[in-house]
Structure 1
Amino acid sequence: MEKNMWKEKVITLRRNLHENPELSEQEFETSKLVQKTLEQAGIPFQTGFAKTGVLGIIEGGKPGGTIALRADMDALPITEKTEIDFQSKNAGVMHACGHDAHTAMLLGTALRLNAEKSSLPGRVLLVFQPAEENSPVGGSGPMLEDGVFDEFKPDVIFGQHVWPNLKIGQIGIRDKEMMGASDSFRMIIKGEGGHASMPHEGKDAIVIAAEFISAVQTIISRNTDPLEAAVITVGTISGGYRYNVIADEVKLEGTVRTYKKEIKELVKRRLVQLIEGFEIAYGISIEYVYTNGYEATVNTPEWATFVRSRVVNMLGKDAAPTVNASLGGEDFSRFLNEIPGAFFWLGCAREGVEVQRPLHDAEFYLNEDCLEIGVDLMMDVAVQALRKLEKGGCSDQ
């Protein structure tokens, strides 16, 4: 397939997927499109992983190692507010995190690799993963549990994610932490109600909640090393009945973001101690649930260095700027817990736009010029990784 042909194919696939987004664990039509595209190209595939997951298999013409390339497929429960011609047709559902682009780019990479498979020294696995947004369950863990790599175990795995903070032609890659651990907590502060004019006869759950929200920030500011990344955010608060009634109950929901496991455990422990302290201080009870989410996404240094070298070789030295890690969660971490590899960001900023809309925003819209670069990079990384494995590089890292 000539370059202009597969380029148009990828754009068409991406726009089709964008128009027809599906939520986590509901990617049935998306999965069918992936399967149809692989079938038409003569690429064998397996299904039955995490409900809608697909594993494509490209066998090279020469013996060698096995690499995996991953793309996530699910969308978000967001009502799209862009003005593009191929806006979401599914009310309240939007590809606001670029998973449509990820899936289309991996399909484009598959078509190109398949056309050159006779020269490949090894095997390429194409991992189309559902439910990345469905924390804490996710889709990578269930795919592993369903045996996605039972028959073919990768020596290395790669994943890329569009990134609006980077310009077209820039790739973000770090040797270690890329994304954070994403835990969550839910609390119900149980006070005692009463009349607003007689606060001494009740235990105002709203006042207690307000103080708790302020106090919880001291866990970060006064318990963790300032040089270690950690965030606690209370994202929702609800309670009360009306203006003249003391609230007997307030519900809070929040998230804890960290990189290092020891920092995560410290924050979790102090959060529980703070809850217990408030119970004693105010003579109330607080019900809480702390949920461990995705672990931090930490690259294998050797393979991150490899990807950076491919970026520089393909796009020039300025294409791999120094980037800070993100505390956003990503369940590619579960693949990296099992398999060496690297996760990297693909610049997709829109030119001439002063304020780039972030991921998970109703107005997020990526620059489609990134699609060609993403396919070229995944193609290059796949081929060169197989050649590196053929020479014995990084396979035991």
Structure 2
Amino acid sequence: MSRLKEGIEKEISNIFDNIVDFRKNIHMYPELGYKEIETTNRIVNILEKNNVKVYRFENITGAIANIFNNCEKTIAVRVDIDALPIRENTGLSFTSKNKEVMHACGHDVHTSIGVGLAVLLNRFKEDLKVNVKIIFQPAEECSPRGGAKLLIEKGVLSNPKVSEVYGFHVWPSYKIGEIGIKPGAIMAASDRFKIIIKGKNAHAAEPHKGVDAISIGADIINAVEFKLKREINAFEPCIISIGKINSTGRYNIICDHTELEGTIRTLSEDSRKKIQSRLKEIVKGISNSYGADYDIDIINGYNPVLNNEQLTASFIKSAEKILGGENVKTNIKPSLIGEDFSAFCKHKPSLYFHLGCDSKYPLHSDRFFADNETIKVGLRLLGLYIIEEIA
């Protein structure tokens, strides 16, 4: 082990307990997207105490830490800081005190790794071959207008110009110490839709005098579930899910108003366009066949997260040295979960990986929890990669 690597490993051990305490604190006080006021305060306070240059964003929550060594090249690491509107049910001693809000997607771990990484890199600033920006991004969970796009519009990738961006997400299906990574699409496009069916009331005993919006909605669901999906290549990953149905009326009245809401997840732009086009045609055709009016609104959300092939190859090689080849999973399938890190991919060569946290509960579960050791693995991987591997 080189003297530098030994020093990095030792420093990670030295700061780890403080970073875990920070994690517990923000886990207890989670905040929703664009409302991460106290989370931002805690990030700024701990970084300032550790002599890291950190700046709040103007007119938006979040912050950026700059660890610069007058290098020609600048990279960025993005971590998301927001939580979800879920009541926590983990039973932890530091469970959420904001009763209807929870870090059910592990962003408390992401934030803690970002803080720890800023402290670590700052203490080895003279050894850095690149300048580093660590972006503490608000509102990842606020599709379709997540915080990434807003920060890019504010110039977070400029002054100095960022050449590449790195991101990650805790991943329950991998063990602590493992990562999942692949070139190309690793996370999906995430779009949402709302369908309104406008039928006609009648007595339930005389359905022929009405236009049943519930029956129309049921036909649309069946067409989406069994017809539309069969029009897409079976080897092309995609999901069309309807997660919400609302209707008006009474048990003995033919319903005149039904609303369906759902999501479309795709990896390719061709599938995305085809599904959206066919969904409109299906809703129109079924509604017209019943004599009903309709509205359909499809909102484009996040684009797919696309890993740059060159960055991915370089990162895999380094990760295998740091974690061991058996712990770097490259033969993986992309996830159909959406992520607004995709906004960075659109502007810069980017890399995104899944960080094993070995949780028996899935992301967005009220019992999800990523072990604190996940933080140490993230610090080791990113710290050693940035300090020793990036040229």
Give the TM-score normalised by structure 2.
0.95
User: Is it true that 1:21 corresponds to 2:30 in the alignment?
Assistant: yes
Deviations 1:125-147 (CA, angstroms, capped at 9, x unpaired): 01000000000000000001112
Q: Amino acid of the residue matched to residue 362 of structure 2?
A: P
Instruction: Determine if contact 1:64/1:386 at 8 Å carries over to the other structure.
Output: no
Q: What's 1:329 paired with? A: 338
* Structure 1, 233-242 or 377-386: larger mean CA deviation: 377-386
- Please report how far the alpha carbon of residue 2 of structure 1 lies from its aligned counterpart in structure 2 after TM superposition: 3.4
Q: How does 1:256-271 map to 2 (within 5 A)?
A: 256-271=264-279
- Residue 371 of structure 2, aligned match among 359, 367, 392: 367
Q: Amino acid of the residue matched to residue 380 of structure 2?
A: D
Q: Secondary structure at the match of 1:342?
A: strand
- Please report how far the alpha carbon of residue 121 of structure 1 lies from its aligned counterpart in structure 2 after TM superposition: 1.7
Deviations 1:245-281 (CA, angstroms, capped at 9, x unpaired): 1110101100000011111001001011112212321
Q: Amino acid of the residue matched to residue 25 of structure 2?
A: N
Q: Secondary structure at the match of 1:367?
A: coil
User: Is it true that 1:379 corresponds to 2:373 in the alignment?
Assistant: no
* Structure 1, 217-226 or 274-283: larger mean CA deviation: 217-226
- Residue 49 of structure 2, aligned match among 33, 36, 40: 40
Structure 1 residues 332 and 384: alpha-carbon distance in aligned structure 2, compared to 1, 3 A threshold:
farther
Q: Amino acid of the residue matched to residue 196 of structure 1?
A: A
Equivalent-residue separation in structure 1 for 2:381 and 2:354 (angstroms)? 11
- Residue 20 of structure 2, aligned match among 11, 19, 22: 11
Q: Secondary structure at the match of 1:148?
A: coil
- Please report how far the alpha carbon of residue 24 of structure 1 lies from its aligned counterpart in structure 2 after TM superposition: 0.3
Q: Secondary structure at the match of 1:278?
A: helix
Q: Secondary structure at the match of 1:81?
A: coil
Residue segments in structure 1 that go unaligned for 5+ positions in a row: 351-355, 388-397
Equivalent-residue separation in structure 2 for 1:329 and 1:131 (angstroms)? 13
Q: What's 2:6 paired with? A: none
Structure 1 residues 233 and 26: alpha-carbon distance in aligned structure 2, compared to 1, 3 A threshold:
same
Q: Secondary structure at the match of 1:96?
A: coil
- Please report how far the alpha carbon of residue 91 of structure 1 lies from its aligned counterpart in structure 2 after TM superposition: 1.4
Deviations 1:195-238 (CA, angstroms, capped at 9, x unpaired): 11111111111111111100012454332111111111001001
Deviations 1:68-101 (CA, angstroms, capped at 9, x unpaired): 0110000000000111100000010000000000
Q: How does 1:52-201 map to 2 (within 5 A)?
A: 52-60=61-69, 63-201=71-209
Q: Amino acid of the residue matched to residue 375 of structure 1?
A: L
- Please report how far the alpha carbon of residue 112 of structure 1 lies from its aligned counterpart in structure 2 after TM superposition: 0.8
Equivalent-residue separation in structure 2 for 1:233 and 1:297 (angstroms)? 20
Q: Amino acid of the residue matched to residue 92 of structure 1?
A: E
Deviations 1:293-346 (CA, angstroms, capped at 9, x unpaired): 000001001111122112210111110122211000000000011011200011
Q: Secondary structure at the match of 1:195?
A: coil
Q: Amino acid of the residue matched to residue 276 of structure 1?
A: K
Instruction: Determine if contact 2:318/2:389 at 8 Å carries over to the other structure.
Output: no
Equivalent-residue separation in structure 2 for 1:155 and 1:50 (angstroms)? 26
* Structure 1, 376-385 or 86-95: larger mean CA deviation: 376-385
Q: Secondary structure at the match of 2:57?
A: strand
User: Is it true that 1:342 corresponds to 2:351 in the alignment?
Assistant: yes
Instruction: Determine if contact 1:58/1:114 at 8 Å carries over to the other structure.
Output: yes
Q: What's 1:236 paired with? A: 244
- Please report how far the alpha carbon of residue 59 of structure 1 lies from its aligned counterpart in structure 2 after TM superposition: 0.9
Equivalent-residue separation in structure 2 for 1:237 and 1:299 (angstroms)? 36
Q: Secondary structure at the match of 2:161?
A: coil
Equivalent-residue separation in structure 1 for 2:107 and 2:283 (angstroms)? 38
Equivalent-residue separation in structure 1 for 2:316 and 2:298 (angstroms)? 37
Equivalent-residue separation in structure 2 for 1:316 and 1:4 (angstroms)? 20
User: Is it true that 1:2 corresponds to 2:11 in the alignment?
Assistant: yes
Structure 1 residues 259 and 49: alpha-carbon distance in aligned structure 2, compared to 1, 3 A threshold:
farther
Equivalent-residue separation in structure 2 for 1:49 and 1:378 (angstroms)? 28
Equivalent-residue separation in structure 1 for 2:349 and 2:278 (angstroms)? 33
- Residue 222 of structure 1, aligned match among 224, 227, 230: 230
Q: Secondary structure at the match of 1:323?
A: coil
Equivalent-residue separation in structure 1 for 2:219 and 2:388 (angstroms)? 56
- Please report how far the alpha carbon of residue 386 of structure 1 lies from its aligned counterpart in structure 2 after TM superposition: 3.4
CA RMSD of aligned residues (A): 1.4
Give the TM-score normalised by structure 1.
0.93
Q: Amino acid of the residue matched to residue 38 of structure 2?
A: E
- Residue 261 of structure 2, aligned match among 211, 232, 253: 253
- Please report how far the alpha carbon of residue 242 of structure 1 lies from its aligned counterpart in structure 2 after TM superposition: 2.0
Q: Secondary structure at the match of 1:110?
A: helix
Q: How does 1:269-308 map to 2 (within 5 A)?
A: 269-308=277-316
Q: Amino acid of the residue matched to residue 74 of structure 1?
A: D
Aligned length: 381
* Structure 1, 216-225 or 324-333: larger mean CA deviation: 216-225
Q: Secondary structure at the match of 2:265?
A: strand
Q: Secondary structure at the match of 2:183?
A: coil
Structure 1 residues 49 and 222: alpha-carbon distance in aligned structure 2, compared to 1, 3 A threshold:
farther
Q: Secondary structure at the match of 1:380?
A: helix
